[in-house]
Amino acid sequence: MIRLSVNINKIALIRNSRGANLPDLCQVTKDLERFGAQGITVHPRPDERHIRFSDLPLLREVVKTEFNIEGYPSPYFIDQVLGCSPDQVTLVPDPPDALTSNSGWDTRNQLEFLKPIVRKFKDRGIRVSLFLNPEPELVHFAAKTGTDRIELYTGLYSAHYSNNPQAAVSPHVLTAFEAEKFKLGLNAGHDLNLSNLSYYKDQVAGLMEVSIGHALVCDALYFGLQNTVQMYLLRLSN
């Protein structure tokens, strides 16, 4: 089974735009799980423009499936994640002012930086995933960090899918093969949507989880949140 983890950053962005607690993130989280979501993902950034670090312990209390926290492993981020013990932490190399995550770790050159950070989380029983570009040669170095999984960046796949699906997915297929060889779990996220998700999951072997937020929330504006979650689950099951 490929798990659907819903990124609720955009829900938090709507909440923050009015300065009150509407929509209520905890209630949305409960509803998403009731609608079928198999995980909840958040990505708190230093400016807290959507998810706030103060949201993390509140969400930890209500998530009953899997709680995944993404972010750059600054000392403050590490302390906050360790404080609420999510099921998974996904480490991304974003600079503080990044609008969104659009590139993965250079695990070859950042290996020594990542190793003690990965170990710190694993020692606390938190599963670790590293955000990675679909470049097969980086998987070997990712494995050397001690990470449990990698999450493949799908931005270029999404951008080129409509022109040539096979060429767009090819690097992901090759990277997935390397992940299997090194016994790493495989996640994917960022730019998967209703149009390109089915093809991706059919082509990429060993996929365990997809984390989708922006596209899912945009679809929910038209179809409703419950219907949209079911539509994504259908894409993953067929």
Q: Which of 70, 151, 178, 209 is catalytic?
A: 70
pLDDT of residue 95: 67
Find where tokens 């302390």 sit.
79
Please, which pLDDT band fits residue 184 given cuts at 50, 70 and 90? Answer: very high
Average pLDDT, stretch 43-67?
Answer: 96
Q: What is the CATH number of the domain that holds 161?
A: 3.20.20.70
* Total domains present in the chain: 1
Average pLDDT, stretch 82-92?
Answer: 97
pLDDT of residue 238: 82
pLDDT at 97 over 80: no
Active site residue 160: no
pLDDT at 102 over 80: no
Q: What is the pLDDT of residues 18-36, one digit of tens each?
A: 989 999 999 999 999 999 9
pTM of the complete model: 0.96
- Asked if residue 207 lies in contact with residue 176, where contact means CB atoms within 8 angstroms, the answer is yes
Residues of the chain with pLDDT > 90, as a percent, come to: 94
Q: What is the pLDDT of residues 142-155, one digit of tens each?
A: 999 999 999 999 99
pLDDT of residue 162: 97
Please, which pLDDT band fits residue 98 given cuts at 50, 70 and 90? Answer: low
Residues spanned by the domain of 58: 3-237
pLDDT at 230 over 90: yes
DSSP string, 40-69: EEE---TT-SSS-TTHHHHHHHH--S-EEE
Higher-pLDDT residue of 55 and 102 is 55
Number of H helices and E strands in the chain, helices first, is: 11, 8
Q: Which of 50, 66, 190, 209 is catalytic?
A: 190
Active site residue 43: yes
Please, which pLDDT band fits residue 87 given cuts at 50, 70 and 90? Answer: very high
Average pLDDT, stretch 103-119?
Answer: 96
Averaged confidence pLDDT in the chain: 96
- Asked if residue 161 lies in contact with residue 154, where contact means CB atoms within 8 angstroms, the answer is no
